[in-house]
Amino acid sequence: MSEIEFLNWVRGPAFEIAMTIFIAGIIIRFLEIFLLGRKTNLAEAKGSEMTGGLHTIVSRSIPDSNTFKRSTFKIVSGYIFHLGLLITIFFFAPHILLFKDIFGFGWPSLPTPVVDAFAVVSIITLIAVLIHRLQDRVLKFLSSTEDYLVWLLTILPLITGYIAFHRIGMTAPSLLAIHILSVELLLIAFPFSKLMHAFTLVLARWYNGAISGYRGVQS
Amino acid sequence: MSASLEKGINALKKEVDSTVGAFFSSCVNCGMCADACLFYTESPCPSRTPINKTEPLRRIWKQEYTLLGRIGKMLGLAKPIDHDFLNQWEKLVYDSCSLCGRCSMVCPVGIDITLMIRKTREGLAASGHAPEGLIGATKRAVTIGSPMGIKLPALMAQISHVEKDTGLKIPMDEEGAEYMLLLSSMEIMNFPEFIEAIAKIFKKAGVSWTISSEAFEATNSGIQIGVADIAAELIQRIVDAAEKLKVKTVISPECGHAYMAIRWDGPNLAGKAFNFKVRHILEILDEFRQDGRLKISGKETQKLTYHDPCQISRRGGVIEQPRNLINLFADDFVEMPEAGKMNWCCGAGGGVSSNERADELRLKVFQRKKDQLDEIKPDAIISACSNCRIHLEDGLEEYNMEIPLMSLTETLAEHLEE
């Protein structure tokens, strides 16, 4: 298989397979959750589940000041690499062209040097996050193979994307193919790993807020 | 309570619902819950991280209710759920957690970790891995009617003392009364002044109330140990008594988990909505205040603070009412740092105080409360849970601190206008 043929396979059939697994997987995971069902609360309500739930979806993004003091590194590093991922995935001009191909519409991109800077910051932060995970007593204890695997799957597209953009080492088609392949790995693993939190956290926060809101407490 | 591994696994399965699915799907092992838990911050052992305490429930969820987990189980890759494993979790789930709910407030993805620890207890209790102290309390609650083994004659003896002291009649089994008061065994034995306070306040407020001789115990060991059937049976006794006496409102006393049990878990355990209201005593007193039925005279000049019982404040939603009431008689009221819904637990809730094995740990983690108190140096602490009160007294003694404890209801009664 030539370099170009490989790129075409990665871009074509392989991408379709990865996207299918990604979408089907997410549907399966949500079905798994919703089919479990939830009993109606028979206690007399003191507040609204809906208001509490919606509020917590938003408010859980902003820790209270004491929690911030106690978990500063986790919160700051978490914010930085998530923001970096968001910007590099959704505001890099070539990515937007791809989304336009898929969805039929695009949106304004950020200047390439800005995206590049965010990618570098994200990579550095993710490395710091890994070191923290390996050193912190609690995180070391809690972490399973999956946690490290998920870390690897997250940082790979950033690194391969950075290398592909700066054309380091190999020829452009190969670098691009490797980058796309790393994204496909991420897509395939996504629904069946902790990466799924990107979607289910909305539901989890809603339940948390609803349970509290019903009792008249804002959680 | 005959226990077996099979029963434990079935009990865990019964606890899995869509909230559990959403919660476990969202955990990224960030460890922030450890920083929110006094059992970790004051005694830093990584296994005490709140989310780790839910591991038995997580294994069941993963192996039985997720596609990937089921495939893993078929291939023989599933982690075991056996007696050895559950035994390792017993101390984490019962001794190192007071179900205070603080972790559920900080989890960035929104997991109600406390709810899941509570659910995990169902599996541990059913498989025979509950602490002796809680098993004993639960047995007494079922057979005698009180976790401390207090029978009706003991209550009647206390009531006759109160009647003699106050000249007021304590209405027993009065049909058609507006309110039916529940009591915790702790109040009956250690704080009969509470009954006296209620008699005085309700007399002044001009409302009718009663105590049922058939269901006066408010606490619910079934909730603490995690046996839904027993919890439901204890709730049903109260429901039957309230319906028999045709009362409009059942009052949960100064006890944290009793309020959770009857107010929030009660109807769900009984399987039907109640045809009476359930209110915490602080809610009732605050209603009296709003209606102008509470005439207060004299002020407390000492520096007072309020300890929020977790199940009443954070988990129960009664946060404003105690402050409204304290302001009626306090000249110098100071909040502890992080008071209200983020307050730190005393360390003895959720059955920890009934579990002698946890005595050393609960006193160790009291350091958290000590730190809070050291920041404001109050002259006295007001609370609204007799379990918190007893443990606070224990903890203060352990750390050589001399701060008296006051019951909110009792203090209010002392300030009633003559």
The CATH code of the domain that includes A19 is 1.20.950.20
The reply to whether B195 and B88 lie within a common domain is: no
Among A36, A44, A74, select the one facing B65 at the smallest CB separation.
A36
CA distance A11 to chain B (A): 27
* Shortest CA distance from B36: residue in chain A: A67
User: Would residue A210 count as lying in a domain?
Assistant: yes
Could you list the residue range(s) of the whole structural domain that residue A69 is in? 3-36+59-214
Summarised one tens digit per residue, pLDDT across range B301-333 is 999 999 999 999 999 999 999 999 999 999 999
How does residue B122 score in pLDDT terms, banded at 50, 70 and 90? very high
Q: How many domains does chain A have?
A: 1
CA distance B21 to chain A (A): 5
Summarised one tens digit per residue, pLDDT across range B138-157 is 999 999 999 998 999 999 99
- Quote the pTM value: 0.96
User: Would residue B45 count as lying in a domain?
Assistant: yes
Contacts of A36 in chain B (CB under 8 A): 16-18, 20-21, 65
β-pair partners for A83:
none
Long-range contacts of A1-9 (CB under 8 A, 24+ apart): A3/A171, A3/A173, A3/A174, A3/A177, A4/A173, A6/A173, A6/A174, A6/A177, A7/A173, A7/A174, A7/A176, A7/A177, A7/A180
User: Would residue A78 count as lying in a domain?
Assistant: yes
Q: What are the residue ranges in chain A where pLDDT is below 50?
A: none
CA distance B190 to chain A (A): 30
* Shortest CA distance from B114: residue in chain A: A208
CA distance B18 to chain A (A): 5
**What share of chain B in percent tops pLDDT 90?**
98
CA distance A185 to chain B (A): 17
CA distance A59 to chain B (A): 10
User: Would residue A201 count as lying in a domain?
Assistant: yes
User: Would residue A43 count as lying in a domain?
Assistant: no
* Shortest CA distance from A57: residue in chain B: B110
User: Would residue B135 count as lying in a domain?
Assistant: no
The reply to whether B268 and B184 lie within a common domain is: yes
Alpha-carbon distance of B279 to B277, in angstroms, equals 7
Mean of the per-residue pLDDT values of chain B? 96
Contacts of A46 in chain B (CB under 8 A): 317
Taking an 8 Å cut-off on Cβ atoms, the answer to whether A44 and B273 are in contact is yes
The reply to whether B273 and B346 lie within a common domain is: no
Contacts of A130 in chain B (CB under 8 A): none
Q: Identify the H or E element spanning A57.
A: helix A49-59
The reply to whether B172 and B264 lie within a common domain is: yes
* Shortest CA distance from B71: residue in chain A: A192
User: Would residue A52 count as lying in a domain?
Assistant: no
Taking an 8 Å cut-off on Cβ atoms, the answer to whether B109 and A201 are in contact is yes
Phi, psi at B302, each rounded to 5°: -70, 160
Q: What is the pLDDT of residue B128?
A: 96
* Shortest CA distance from A78: residue in chain B: B30
Q: What is the pLDDT of residue B7?
A: 97
User: Would residue A45 count as lying in a domain?
Assistant: no
Taking an 8 Å cut-off on Cβ atoms, the answer to whether B27 and A63 are in contact is no
User: Where residue B318 sits, what CATH number does that domain have?
Assistant: 3.40.50
Among A41, A46, A200, select the one facing B317 at the smallest CB separation.
A46
Q: What is the pLDDT of residue B1?
A: 54
Separation of CA B291 from chain center: 28
User: Would residue B38 count as lying in a domain?
Assistant: yes
Taking an 8 Å cut-off on Cβ atoms, the answer to whether B110 and A204 are in contact is yes
**Average of pLDDT values for B336-360?**
96
Taking an 8 Å cut-off on Cβ atoms, the answer to whether A205 and B27 are in contact is no
Q: What is the pLDDT of residue B305?
A: 98
Amino acid of residue B415? H
Q: How many domains does chain B have?
A: 3
Contacts of B313 in chain A (CB under 8 A): 217
Task: DSSP for B259-328, please give it.
Answer: HIIIIIIHHHHHTS--SSEEEEHHHHHHHHHHTT---B---EEEEEEE---TTTTTTT---HHHHHHHHH
The reply to whether B126 and B256 lie within a common domain is: no
**What share of chain B in percent tops pLDDT 70?**
100
pLDDT at B77 over 70: yes
Give the ipTM: 0.96
User: Would residue A44 count as lying in a domain?
Assistant: no
Q: What is the pLDDT of residue A1?
A: 80
Rounded alpha-carbon distances, angstroms, from residue A63 to B32, B106, B192: 11, 7, 42
The reply to whether B185 and B57 lie within a common domain is: no
Q: Which of B266, B289, B312 is the last residue of a domain?
A: B289
Among A56, A137, A216, select the one facing B46 at the smallest CB separation.
A137
Alpha-carbon distance of B272 to B235, in angstroms, equals 11
Phi, psi at B381, each rounded to 5°: -115, 130
The reply to whether B126 and B213 lie within a common domain is: no
User: Would residue B168 count as lying in a domain?
Assistant: yes
How does residue B346 score in pLDDT terms, banded at 50, 70 and 90? very high
Taking an 8 Å cut-off on Cβ atoms, the answer to whether A32 and B21 are in contact is yes
Q: What is the pLDDT of residue B78?
A: 93
User: Would residue A69 count as lying in a domain?
Assistant: yes
Mutate to test the interface with A, among B40, B102, B109 (most CBs of A within 10 A): B109
Could you list the residue range(s) of the whole structural domain that residue B25 is in? 5-130
Contacts of A28 in chain B (CB under 8 A): 67
The reply to whether B171 and B284 lie within a common domain is: yes
